[in-house]
Every structure is written in structure tokens, then in C-alpha cells.
Amino acid sequence: MTESMISVTDLCKVYEMGEVKVQAVCGVTFDIAPGEFVAIIGHSGSGKSTLMNMLGCLDTPTTGAYRLDGVETQHLDDNDLALIRSVKLGFVFQQYNLLPRQTALRNVEMPLLYRGVPAARRKARAEMALRMLGMGDRMHHRPNELSGGQQQRVAIARALVGSPSVILADEPTGALDTKTSDEIMGILRSLNRNQGLTVIVVTHEPEVAAYASRVLTLRDGQLVSDGPAPRRAAVTQQAPGRPL
């Protein structure tokens, strides 16, 4: 039996705001197998962003257990959590989070810089990631010289360059038009299917969630449904190239 890539058991997160306690996530339990493409969907305030922060080791649960690729994370210190984020996880955000004064190439190199990878190897891996995402002719452009879709491709290349086990995408199409959103989701789906990456997308849009194979629905901090994603029309998307 294959061990789960992600295993969440009775996960809860409570925030204290003065004398008031706000329960953002309550009693959530699920497993995600290696190579799954899962969407977490819910309205604003449903707890999906809080859950994503815990899955990304950016926040820790108040109670419950979270195992990532066989490692119990809930009792790890900040240094250990940072190491897991660096090695196991790749992040894609709604607002891209690119360094504005750096080129696309330099932005993609950054995760490897923090890991102490030598300069020549950093550059080679970053160039490969950008070419794989169709950005080979834009790698020396700065973010303000790129469209929103191009910036998100750079962000995906940055997430991939460290060869993570899991890609976590938080509203990755929220700042994009419909056509560009379809292109970005097609890229994530191709990475999942062709490279076997585990992909988790947080969204409030059913059209985006439909790219996944499975949808977890949150409401008021609780998991209210877990099942196959609805079918959607096929999207023509050139698959990314060879693995990094």
C-alpha cells in the first residue's frame, strides 16, 4: 500500500483575537496520494487559505496531526519547517510574488540560492525551468516587462526549480483573464500528468477546480465534501517539456 503524500487528521486552527477565539479550521481529516491533483474550494471565510497555510508549513495547527511525505510536521521547530518548505514544497501565489528589480531568471534562481546551490548549477536549472514553461525568450526580462500570464509562468518555474514533491497553488488564476487562466491551469495539469507531481490548488472558482481530479469543499472551517471533480471540456495545452 502506497503511503500518502499528505495525511491530515482532525486538524484544527484557532486564532485568539483578544478574548475572542476564532476557529478557522475544525476537525478536518483527509489523505492525498502521491501524484494526485486536488482542488480545495470554498467561499471567502471557509478556511481554505488557513488550511493551505498549514499544508505549506507556513502555519502550525492548534490541534490535530499533519504528515507530509512521511514526516510529522506539527511539532517541528521553525528551522525544520523552513527546510521542509525549501525541499518538499513549491509555492505558486495569486500575486506572483516576484522580485520587481530582478530578471525572470534571477527570480527562478532564488530558491536554489537559499539552498546554497553553486551559481553555475543554479543558472542552468533556472534556464531549464523557464524554457520548460515557454519563457526561454523572456528570461532576462523583469516582471514589469511581462504580462500577468508570463509572470505566473515565471512563478511556476520558480516553484519547480527545486524539484519539490508537492506544488501548492493559492488562487493561481485570481489575477488573470479567462484565457490565460485556462493556460495556467493546463500547465499545472500537464505537470501533474506528465511528471507525476502532486498538485494542490486553492480556489473559489468551480471552473478552476474542475481541472483537478478530486475536490475538497470547505464550509465554515469544516470539510463538507470530498469527491471527484466535475468533468470539463478538454483544453488544448502544450505539455511542459522534460523534467528538471
For 5-17, what is each residue's pLDDT tens digit? 999 999 999 998 8
Confidence label for 18 from pLDDT (cuts 50, 70 and 90): confident
Residues 6+ apart with CB under 8 A from 170: 49, 52, 91, 92, 93, 94, 202
**What does the pLDDT average to over 96-125?**
95
147 assigned to some structural domain: yes
pLDDT score recorded for residue 114: 87
Give per-residue pLDDT as tens, 171-194.
999 989 999 999 999 999 999 999
pLDDT score at 74: 85
Better pLDDT: 213 or 3: 213
The domain containing residue 132 runs over which residues? 39-60+78-228
In a domain, 3, yes or no: no
Supply the CATH number for residue 143's domain. Answer: 3.40.50.300
What percentage of the chain carries pLDDT values higher than 90?
A: 86
CA atoms lying within 13 Å on the CB side of residue 240: 30
Residues forming a β-bridge with 223? 218
Position 47 in a domain: yes
Q: Cα dihedral sign for 21, 24, 28, 32?
A: negative
Q: What pLDDT, in 10s, does the model give residues 49-84?
A: 999 999 999 999 999 999 999 999 988 999 999 999
Residue 85 is assigned to a structural domain of this protein: yes
Q: For residue 67, tell me if it sits in a domain.
A: no
Confidence of residue 233 (pLDDT cuts 50, 70, 90): low
Q: Is 215 contained in some domain?
A: yes
Residue 134 within a domain: yes
- Sign of the C-alpha dihedral computed for residues 168, 43, 189 and 128 taken in this order: negative
- Find residue 92's DSSP bridge partners: 169
Q: What is the percentage of the chain residues whose pLDDT exceeds 70? A: 94
Angle at the Cα of 46 from the Cα atoms of 44 and 52, rounded to 5 degrees: 95
Q: Record the pTM.
A: 0.91
In this prediction, residue 229 carries a pLDDT of 87
Set of cell numbers at residue 20: 475572542
Looking at the 3D structure of the chain, how many domains does it have? 1
Question: Rounded mean pLDDT of the chain?
Answer: 92
Cell of 206: 468551480
In this predicted structure, the answer to whether residue 238 has a pLDDT above a threshold of 60 is no
Does 128 fall in a domain?
A: yes
pLDDT grade, residue 244 (50/70/90)? Answer: very low
Q: Is the pLDDT of residue 31 over 90?
A: yes
